[in-house]
Amino acid sequence: MAAEVDGSSGRLDLDACGAALERAIEAAGALGLDVRAASGVRSGVAERSGFPTDLYVLALAGGTGVGKSSLLNALAGEPISAAGVMRPTTSEPTAWVPATRLTDAAPLLE
């Protein structure tokens, strides 16, 4: 099944993709196939489809001391996560959201 693309923007048409996923789940269910994983994907898509399309979630992952905190601080434009020569410096997961986007991102942080 090919992804549906909006010709004007080159972006995926998420509504069309969601409808195609729904049809695939129904067809698989009619064949007696296990649709739990696909249904979970459908639920996740439905939950996230209410978020603005310009809201990004980014994870910084890597070994200790490679500069994840420094990169986060540079992206934020202010100190968010302590960076230093002592390893590991950051011992807890850190989430940062620009103040102007807190309302949009709040459900992601729950």
CA of 31: how far to CAs of 24, 34, 35, 75, in Å?
11, 9, 10, 49
- Residues 62-83: tens digit of each pLDDT: 888 888 999 999 999 999 888 8
Q: Which of 3, 8, 5, 6 has the alpha carbon at shortest distance from 20?
A: 3
Cα–chain center distance at 4: 20
Query: Do 90 and 69 form a contact (C-beta atoms < 8 A)?
Result: yes
Per-residue pLDDT at 73: 92
Residue 9's pLDDT is 58
Structure tokens at 57: 């979630």
* Choice between 89 and 24, residue whose per-residue pLDDT is larger: 24
